[in-house]
Structure 1
């Protein structure tokens, strides 16, 4: 599989991990758009949110949100605030077809970011 996130999950490419469980991996983005920029992915390859199977993938998707909360607390941005972004398909700006969320924080994000690349 040529998915860059699957290669990171499988240890074929290096990453700076922020969180890991049996179902989820989170790592610091290599081109951060904010002082804190972590990518949170399910270890199971799911192309986009559109392909999430109700009943089958619910626990993994729920854990993505649990991981985001934990990472925000651990990185000290839970109280000041953070943004959680999921892009879905090309028109959203999605560049890696593997379900993922961007966790951004560490500064005022009141204005929309021009583009969060996936």
Structure 2
């Protein structure tokens, strides 16, 4: 097993998720173990190790479009949110992903 929860579990259907937004190449869903009151993850459906390794600029634009739309809705509903991505040792799962979060840690 690789260190890629998103390919190994989510995209293979082993872990069921509640979808928030989906395009042909991108999936945003509620985190399976949320750290915040609202915790959404946005991922490319294709394996990309991290933000610094992506070479498919069309996919990056599609992903960023989702990372713009989902937080817009959270900001509209709650007045604020954070958008976070991690790199290197901070990145537990080696698959590019964005956390869209609001509220206090749970």
- Alignment size in residue pairs: 102
Bigger fraction of residues in helix: 2
Q: Which residue of 2 aligns with 1:4?
A: 5
Gaps of 5+ in 1: 114-118
TM-score by length of 2: 0.81
Deviations along 1:37-59, whole A, 9 cap, x unmatched?
10100011011112111xxx112
Bigger fraction of residues in strand: 2
Higher relative CO (CA 8 A, sep ≥ 6), structure 1 or 2? 2
CA RMSD of aligned residues (A): 2.1
TM-score by length of 1: 0.74
Distance 1:11 1:26, change over 3 A: same
Q: Which runs of 4 or more aligned residues in structure 1 lie more than 2 Å from their structure 2 counterparts after TM superposition?
A: 76-79
Aligned-pair CA distance for 1:103: 0.4
Q: Which residue of 2 aligns with 1:47?
A: 49
Gaps of 5+ in 2: none
**Contact persistence 2:27–2:44 (CA under 8 A):** yes
